Amino acid sequence: MSRGTLIDLIYLFSATTFLVALKGLGSPKRARYGNAVAAFGMLVAIVATFFKYVDGHALHHVWLILLAMFIGTIIAVPTARFVEMTAMPQLVAIFNGVGGGAASLVSITEFVHIKSTNPATYVTLEVLLGVLIGTVSFAGSAIAFAKLQELMTGRPVTYPGQQIINAIVGVVALALIVTILVQGSTLLLWVLLIVAFVLGVAFVLPIGGADVPVLISLLNAFTGLAVAASGFTLGSNLLIVAGTLVGASGILLTRLMSKAMGRSLSNVLFSAFGSNITATGASSVEGRSVRSGSPEDIGVLLGFASKVVIIPGYGLAVAQAQHVLRELADELEGKGVEVFYAIHPVAGRMPGHMNVLLAEANVPYEDLLEMDEANSELATADVALVVGANDTVNPAATNDPASPIYGMPIIHADLAENVIFLKRSMRPGFAGIDNELLYNPKTLLVFGDAKDTLTKVVAVVKAS
Amino acid sequence: MTNVLLQYATVLVLTAFVGTEIIAKVPSILHTPLMSGSNAIHGVIIVGSMLILGSANTNLEEVLGFLAVILATLNVVGGFVVTDRMLEMFKGRKPQPKPKAKSDEVAS
Q: Known catalytic residue: A367?
A: no
A423 CA to centre of own chain: 24
Q: Which of A296-310, A357-371, A375-389, B65-79 has the highest mean pLDDT?
A: B65-79
pTM of the predicted model as reported, rounded to 2 decimal places = 0.84
Domain encompassing residue A425: 283-463
pLDDT the model gives residue A229: 95
Are A24 and A118 members of one domain? no
For residues A275 and A436, the answer to whether their CB atoms sit within 8 Å is no
Are A307 and A448 members of one domain? yes
Count Cβ neighbours within 10 Å for each residue of A377-391 and write b for 16 or more, e otherwise: bbeebbbbbbbbbbb
pLDDT tens digits, residue range A324-359? 999 999 999 998 899 999 998 888 887 788 888 888
β-strands A338-343, A307-312 pairing: parallel
**Paired residues of A57 in beta bridges:** A54
Nearest to A360 by CA among B88, B100, B102: B88
Are A337 and A453 members of one domain? yes
Residue of chain A nearest B83, judged by CA positions: A35
Q: Rounded to 10 degrees, what is the CA torsion of B52, B58, B59, B63?
A: -10
Q: Provide the number of structural domains found in chain A.
A: 3
Helix (H, G, I), strand (E, B) or coil at A443: strand
Calculate Rg over the CA atoms of chain B: 21
Test B107 with A327 for CB contact under 8 angstroms: yes
Are A346 and A363 members of one domain? yes
Residue-by-residue DSSP string for A107-170: HHHHHHHHHHH-TTSPP-HHHHHHHHHHHHHHHHHHHHHHHHTTSS-SSPP--TTHHHHHHHHH
Instruction: For residue B45, list chain A residues with Cβ-Cβ distance below 8 A.
Output: 99, 102-103, 106, 227, 230, 239, 243
Last residue of a domain, one of A258, A276, A294: A276
pLDDT tens digits, residue range B39-57? 999 999 999 999 999 999 8
Backbone angles phi, psi at A414, to 5 degrees: -70, -10
Are A271 and A155 members of one domain? yes
Test A330 with B98 for CB contact under 8 angstroms: yes
pLDDT tens digits, residue range B60-86? 999 999 999 999 999 999 999 999 988
Are A94 and A3 members of one domain? no
Backbone angles phi, psi at A200, to 5 degrees: -60, -45
pLDDT tens digits, residue range A225-278? 999 999 999 989 999 999 999 999 999 988 888 887 777 888 888 877 666 544
**Paired residues of A309 in beta bridges:** A340, A384
Backbone angles phi, psi at A275, to 5 degrees: -90, -30
Instruction: For residue B2, list chain A residues with Cβ-Cβ distance below 8 A.
Output: none
Last residue of a domain, one of A67, A82, A97: A82
Of A249, A345, A365, the CB nearest to B92: A365
Cβ-in-10-Å burial (0-12, 13-18, 19+) of A439 comes to: middle
ipTM (interface pTM): 0.85
Average of per-residue pLDDT values in chain A: 87
Provide the number of CB pairs (under 8 Å) joining chain A to chain B.
388
Average pLDDT value for residue range A26-48 = 91
Are A223 and A261 members of one domain? yes
pLDDT the model gives residue B101: 44
Among residues A391, A400, A414, A434, which one is catalytic? A391
For residues B49 and A98, the answer to whether their CB atoms sit within 8 Å is no
pLDDT tens digits, residue range A157-201? 888 888 899 999 999 999 999 998 888 888 899 999 999 999 999
Are A372 and A432 members of one domain? yes
Are A291 and A402 members of one domain? yes
Are A98 and A193 members of one domain? yes
Instruction: For residue B92, list chain A residues with Cβ-Cβ distance below 8 A.
Output: 28-29, 364-366
Last residue of a domain, one of A57, A82, A107: A82
Nearest to A347 by CA among A269, A260, A259, A238: A260
Tally the C-alpha atoms within 13 A of residue B43's C-alpha that lie toward its C-beta: 38
Are A94 and A71 members of one domain? no
Q: Which of residues 49-78 of B touch A (CB under 8 A)?
A: 49-58, 60-62, 64-78
pLDDT tens digits, residue range A394-445? 888 888 887 777 888 889 988 998 899 888 776 666 666 778 888 888 888 8
Are A154 and A61 members of one domain? no
